A and B are shown apart, each in its own frame.
Chain A
Amino acid sequence: MRDFSYIAANTIPEAVALLDEKGESARILAGGTDLIVQVREARRDVDWIIDIKSIPEVNALDYNADTGLTLGAAAECYKIYADDAVCNAYPGLIDATKIIGGTAIQGRAAVGGNLCNASPAADGIPPLIVLNATCVIAGPNGEREVPVEQFCTAPGQTVLKNGEMLVSIKIPAPESNSSSFYLRFIPRNEMDIAVVGAGASVVLDDAKQTIVSARIALAAVAPTPLYAEEASALLAGQEVSDEAIDAAAEAAKAIARPISDMRGTVEQRTHLVGVLTRRALNGAIERVREAT
């Protein structure tokens, strides 16, 4: 593996100062399940690895029914799905954390790392988009916040500038009669990368018959995970019906601009967007209706 230096930062200011000083030759280490492979395979030129796992803020997993969830950038998948309150509040996020890699990956990999790795196929990102998450970023000039759907800018690229790091992800408290769902298509049962992924969240009325609002997000059909804004807006105020869901699925297909590669063709991926969007919406609606 390429030679590099390792520093374990103990505070956010220390990590930010190091990032600022080292510029593009530095990279943050959280779970390392992407970074270590990328450095080993010479896909990233890194001279400085800054381990942030000793910083308290990045390990946060604080859920409050009124204010929502603060998810530290380095909080591992296993920790997230071991938290019953988080599982109840954000089932769509839990769907993703349970299918990112296998058990040993989930023991190290963080949702924040999944976001910063900025893969178009990241399973962790569509759930964050449908849950209206906000990224809390620390940098030399203080803190700023960015909606998660604006965080990734290209494959492997994010809005983070030199000296900046993701500290945490804030997710609002779930509204009543709401739920979320994420699923992906893969040719195996486990341990694979999404051919297409789709997430949905819905808020229903008290009778659980009408959709008050919905959000749909897609993975692996564009250079970044996508928020399907128009498809989502179509559902607001609609009664739950196959027709309404089909219309949203068609609108989601319209924004997909996938590539053909070893995992799937443009045609297959576009078709899958429709199928998975329907399933994600129906899954989220089912969860609202099942809840008592």
Chain B
Amino acid sequence: MARRSHVQTTINGETVEFLCEPRQSLLEVLRDELHLTGAKEGCNNGNCGACSVILDGRLVNSCLVLGVETEGKSVETIEGLAAPDKLHPIQDAFLENAALQCGICTPGFIMSAKALLEQNPNPTEHEVRYWLAGNLCRCTGYDKIVRAVLDAAAAQ
């Protein structure tokens, strides 16, 4: 078996060190090694977006990144969003709009929405829908999610 590598990275602003096998995806490292279980495994092949995280400022599917690739990089996950006593405005908007049912897709949608609003603080509905096309939801349909993102943008 390939040797476990020592990796140092920044996760949600904190320096983190971990050991992982080369074959472990960033998603597996987050969930199994670091016990950050917010990012979800849906398809494990880049279609569903449930594992979306932000890597060095870019939205990525953490199932399609190797843990060893994150050496020296910065990772943002859903766990880093809320302050101890206050939800992030996107999280508030998802609650207010009832933009979730089972919740499996929600962390991915919220990270994707965060990446969108950082780049485009005032998106049109069309832009929101295209940006979120890589995030799948099987419960709500997408309308409430899109409204939540537009509300979050308006509230900024």
A interface, CB within 8 angstroms of B: 1-6, 8, 29, 31-33, 36-37, 39-41, 49, 51, 53, 76, 78, 101-105, 107-108, 189-191
Contacts and interface: CB of A to CB of B under 8 A. Distances in A.
Nearest to B63: A36
A33 to B, nearest CB: 5
A150 B49 CA distance: 35
Contacts of B116: 103
Contacts, number: 92
B44 interface: yes
B115 interface: yes
A103 B5 contact: no
A189 B134 CA distance: 11
The 5 closest A-B pairs by CB, nearest first: A102-B134, A6-B22, A190-B133, A107-B58, A1-B23
Contacts of A107: 55, 58-60
Given A2-B23, A40-B44, A191-B47, A104 B68 contact: no
14 contacts: A4-B23, A6-B5, A8-B71, A32-B65, A33-B46, A37-B46, A37-B64, A49-B66, A103-B132, A105-B46, A107-B58, A108-B60, A190-B130, A191-B134
A171 to B, nearest CB: 24
Interface of B: 1-3, 5, 21-25, 44-47, 49, 52, 55, 58-61, 63-66, 68-69, 71, 112, 115-116, 130-135
Given A101-B46, A191-B47, A36 B66 contact: yes
Question: Which of B3, B23, B24, B132: most chain A Cβ within 10 A?
Answer: B23
Contacts of A103: 59, 112, 115-116, 131-134
Contact of B68 (A6, A76, A78, A108): A6
B133 to A, nearest CB: 4
